[in-house]
Amino acid sequence: MTTDQQNSISLALKAVPTAAITGQLLKKHGLRTQAIQGVVPLDQGNCRFAGPAFTLRYVPQREDLNASTDMGSPGSVVVAVMEQIPAGAVLVIDMQRNASVGALGDVLVSQLIYAGVAGIVADGGMRDVQQLRRLGLPVYCSGPAAPPSPSALMPADLQTLIGCGLVAVFPGDFIVADEDGVVVVPQHLAAEVASAGAKKERLDVWLQQQVAAGSGVRGFYPPSEATLARYYSEMPESDR
C-alpha cells in the first residue's frame, strides 16, 4: 500500500466513529475483539486520530541485558523507533499491560510530533502527562505513571506483531481512536470498512433524527425494509 493510499484511508477512517467501525467488523467480518482494552485518553478533548500502526514491543526487564534499554546505546530500540517512524503513523506500544511505568515522556513525544506522528496507543503508562497534554499529540494509555519504563520493562523490537490491550496488532493495521476508544482495523479490510462505515454512519444519523422526532424505535432500530426504502428515497444516491 502506498503512502498516498494510507493517507486517504486514514482520513476516511478518522471520519467514522469507532462505534460504527466495531459494528462493521463484527457484523460483516465476524471480528469481535478489535477494541483495545484498558486504555484511556490523556486528554478527552484531543483523542481523535487514525493511521497505520508502527509497533514497539516491550518485554519484562532483564537488568543484565541493558543495551536496548539504555537510550544512549547505539542499539537502542526506542531511538530506532524515533528515527524510523513515518509521518501519519500511530505508534502502538505493547507494554505487557504494565500500568506501573511510563513508556514515553515529553522529550520523546516532542520528537514524535516533529516526525508528524498521528497519535500514540500504549497498554501501559505515560510520564510527564501535564506536559504531554500541553504538547497536543493525542495519546491513549493506561494512565499516568511516574517511574520510567526500564524499572520494569525493556524494549525488545519494533515493527513486529504485538499484543496491545488484548488485541493483536500487525504493522500497517489501521488504528482509529475517538471518544469511545481505540479500534484496530486489519489492513486488508481498512478501505472497505471506511467506505461501509461512512455509509452506516449517515444512515444512523438519519435514524436518530427520526426517533428524536417521535417515530418510535420499532421499525427504525434496526430499520425495517420500509424504513430503508424511505431513507434511500430521501437521500441523494451519493450519500447512500
pTM of the model: 0.92
Distances (CA, A) of 60 to 27, 36, 39, 169: 37, 21, 20, 19
Q: Examine the pLDDT at 201 and tell me if it is beyond 90.
A: no
Same domain, 129 and 209: no
Same domain, 15 and 133: yes
Instruction: Point out the domain boundary residue: 168, 187, 206.
Output: 187
Same domain, 78 and 183: yes
Same domain, 83 and 134: yes
Same domain, 158 and 198: no
Instruction: Point out the domain boundary residue: 149, 166, 187.
Output: 187
Kindly state the average pLDDT of the residues 84-104.
97
HEC string for 185-238: ECHHHHHHHHHHHHHHHHHHHHHHHHHHCCCCCCCECCECHHHHHHHHHHCCHH
Cα–Cα distance between 238 and 240 in angstroms, integer? 6
Q: Examine the pLDDT at 117 and tell me if it is beyond 80.
A: yes
Provide the percentage of residues in the chain whose pLDDT is more than 90.
80
**What is the domain extent for residue 204?**
193-239
Same domain, 208 and 157: no
> 26: Cβ–Cβ under 8 A, 6 or more apart, which residues?
32
Kindly state the average pLDDT of the residues 89-95.
98
Give pLDDT, residue 66: 66
Q: Examine the pLDDT at 109 and tell me if it is beyond 80.
A: yes
Helix (H) or strand (E) holding 141, with range, is strand 139-141
Same domain, 197 and 170: no
Which range among 72-81, 127-136, 156-165 shows the weakest confidence by mean pLDDT?
A: 72-81
Name the average pLDDT for the chain: 93
Give pLDDT, residue 193: 95
The pLDDT-based confidence of 58 (bands split at 50, 70, 90) is very high
The CATH number of the domain holding residue 27 is 3.50.30.40
Is the CB of residue 201 less than 8 Å from the CB of residue 21? no
Closest C-alpha to 139, from 96, 172, 173, 110? 110
Antiparallel, parallel or unpaired: β 153-158 and 49-60: antiparallel
Cα–Cα distance between 172 and 149 in angstroms, integer? 25
The pLDDT-based confidence of 236 (bands split at 50, 70, 90) is confident
Residue 68 has a CB neighbour count (10 Å cut-off) of 21
* Number of domains composing the chain: 2
Q: Is 64 left (phi over 0), alpha (psi -120 to 50) or beta?
A: alpha
Give pLDDT, residue 240: 59
In degrees to the nearest 10, what's the CA dihedral of 169, 173, 179, 180?
A: -60
Same domain, 18 and 130: yes
Give pLDDT, residue 67: 58
pLDDT greater at residue 141 or residue 203: 141
Same domain, 154 and 201: no
Antiparallel, parallel or unpaired: β 153-158 and 143-144: unpaired
Name 50's bridge partners: 176
Is the CB of residue 178 less than 8 Å from the CB of residue 7? no
Give pLDDT, residue 68: 58
Cα–Cα distance between 106 and 80 in angstroms, integer? 17
Kindly state the average pLDDT of the residues 48-73.
86
- By CB atoms closer than 10 A (0-12, 13-18, 19+), residue 123 is buried
The pLDDT-based confidence of 136 (bands split at 50, 70, 90) is very high
Same domain, 170 and 86: yes
Same domain, 82 and 60: yes
Same domain, 90 and 201: no
Kindly state the average pLDDT of the residues 67-72.
69
Give pLDDT, residue 181: 97
The pLDDT-based confidence of 197 (bands split at 50, 70, 90) is confident
